[in-house]
Amino acid sequence: MPIVAGDLLYKYTGAGSHNAAQTDPNASLGNFRASSLITDAADNNVFDDVSGGESAAGDTEYRAIAFHNNHGSLPLTAGKVWISADTGNAEDDISIAVEVPAASETTGAIQTIVNESTAPTGVSWSDATTKVTGLNFPGSGADVAAGDWFGIWLRRIISVGAAAQSAESVTIRCEGDTAP
Amino acid sequence: MTVIVENDVRLLRRLLVCLNYGEMENVVKLDTYLRQVRELNFQLSRYIPEAEWPRYLNRFNQEEQLLARQYGFVWLPDHVDTIFLNRKWKNPFTLYVRLLQVITELGELGELFYQPKAERPPDWADQVEEMKHFYRGRVPTPEQVKKLSIVERLARWASKK
């Protein structure tokens, strides 16, 4: 049976060990993949609100989420990740980067950042908004084997003096090929 | 085959925005730049028979397909990808009308932000000048008044007769 959308899961990182529970979006700053799923299309499911002080001074924050191929046997091949929708305006910007877990692509960990304002190192940021310009899945052959995962880093930049906005969101899309 | 970069994708979306706002001169400018300077191969949905659209849109969810049908899409045959105008991108202030780099040869269209003319706040000074021009054109000259009075007199005479 081919991979279907339900086999592809978006989860938090920041777990103390592989597949441990971790439901705090603000603690999703790298390390092991959590077992906890990110609730789709929910407010503050990844980033928190921007405070008045943060918008006045400008603010750059980071999060890492996990993309997990939960299919029993098939790899997702020739994969790409990009920002498929964004309500952002002139005063904010979202970029993405990818990182493959070290030691094991199934049970390993990506780097951990000490706090949300610290940039991850060794990653390349992209503002890709369509598949053709999207980032290749990291690791060999742009594949994610069954049970494997990789990290998607998100960088949110709020410009100095940004005006208050409500309900701003981005949609991250991963797409690849599956055997039948 | 030209390597397409994110700035090209955003210009293609800007082209769709101009098309939706009926800014045909800008559509031509962007189309020419993308084809001749960037050497991109692309097809606008308006030139693809509607019966064939499903094959370009089947990757997308229902909402995305509706948006692509409503606002049009661009097919990139060399890259097997479809660019469409998400409703979030239709807002001229949103991120995706922002280019990543300025294209000076496109003038205003190549600036980081581009706002369709219909979305721009009215320029009151221009509007007042237009009104003045309009009313000036309606005020009859002394000669016109004279001619008018003759016509009126003739009309009255004709009606009495």
From the list A87, A94, A129, the residue facing B6 with the nearest CB is: A129
Residues contacting residue A6 through CB under 8 Å, at least 6 positions apart: none
Does position B48 have pLDDT exceeding 60, yes or no? yes
**ipTM, 2 dp:** 0.86
What value does the mean pLDDT take over residues A115-137?
Answer: 96
Band of pLDDT at residue A143, cut at 50, 70 and 90: very high
Binary contact (A93, B59; C-beta < 8 A) = no
Would you give the distance in Å from CA A79 to the centre of its chain? 14
B119-143: pLDDT as tens digits: 777 776 666 777 776 666 666 666 6
Kindly state whether A177 is in contact with chain B, defined as any CB-CB distance less than 8 angstroms.
Answer: no
Band of pLDDT at residue A180, cut at 50, 70 and 90: very high
B86-132: pLDDT as tens digits: 766 656 566 567 899 999 999 999 998 888 888 777 776 666 777 77
Residues contacting residue B21 through CB under 8 Å, at least 6 positions apart: B116, B117, B118, B119
Q: Are the beta carbons of B82 and B73 closer than 8 angstroms?
A: yes
Mean residue pLDDT across chain B = 84
Among residues A93, A59, A103, A80, the alpha carbon closest in space to that of A152 is found at A80
Helix, strand, or coil here: A159?
coil
Q: Could you give the CA distance from residue A91 to residue B98 in angstroms, rounded to a whole number?
A: 11
Q: Could you give the CA distance from residue B35 to residue B32 in angstroms, rounded to a whole number?
A: 5
Question: In chain A, which residues have their Cβ closer than 8 Å to the Cβ of B34?
Answer: none
Question: In chain B, which residues have their Cβ closer than 8 Å to the Cβ of A86?
Answer: 88-89, 94-96
pTM: 0.84
Q: What torsion, rounded to 10 degrees, do the Cα atoms A170, A175, B1, B3 define?
A: 40
Best of A133, A155, A158, A159 to mutate (most B CBs within 10 Å, chain B)? A133
Q: Å from A84 to nearest chain B CA?
A: 9
Q: Could you give the CA distance from residue B113 to residue B98 in angstroms, rounded to a whole number?
A: 5
Q: State both tokens at B5.
A: 């970069």
Question: In chain A, which residues have their Cβ closer than 8 Å to the Cβ of B83?
Answer: 130
Closest-approach residue (CA) in chain A for B98: A90
**Consecutive H or E run containing A152:** strand A149-158
Question: In chain A, which residues have their Cβ closer than 8 Å to the Cβ of B81?
Answer: 130-132
Kindly state whether A124 is in contact with chain B, defined as any CB-CB distance less than 8 angstroms.
Answer: no
Q: Å from A142 to nearest chain B CA?
A: 17
Q: Could you give the CA distance from residue B29 to residue A139 in angstroms, rounded to a whole number?
A: 41
List the beta bridge partners of residue B7: none
Kindly state whether A164 is in contact with chain B, defined as any CB-CB distance less than 8 angstroms.
Answer: no
Q: Are the beta carbons of A149 and A67 closer than 8 angstroms?
A: yes
DSSP-derived secondary structure letter, A17: S
Binary contact (A85, B88; C-beta < 8 A) = yes
Question: What values do phi and psi take at A126, rounded to 5?
Answer: -140, 145
Q: Å from B104 to nearest chain A CA?
A: 20
Could you tell me the strand order of the sheet in which A59-69 lies? Answer: A92-99, A149-158, A59-69, A8-15, A30-37, A109-112
Question: What values do phi and psi take at B76, rounded to 5?
Answer: -110, 95
Binary contact (B4, A87; C-beta < 8 A) = no
Report strand pairing: A59-69 vs A149-158. Answer: antiparallel
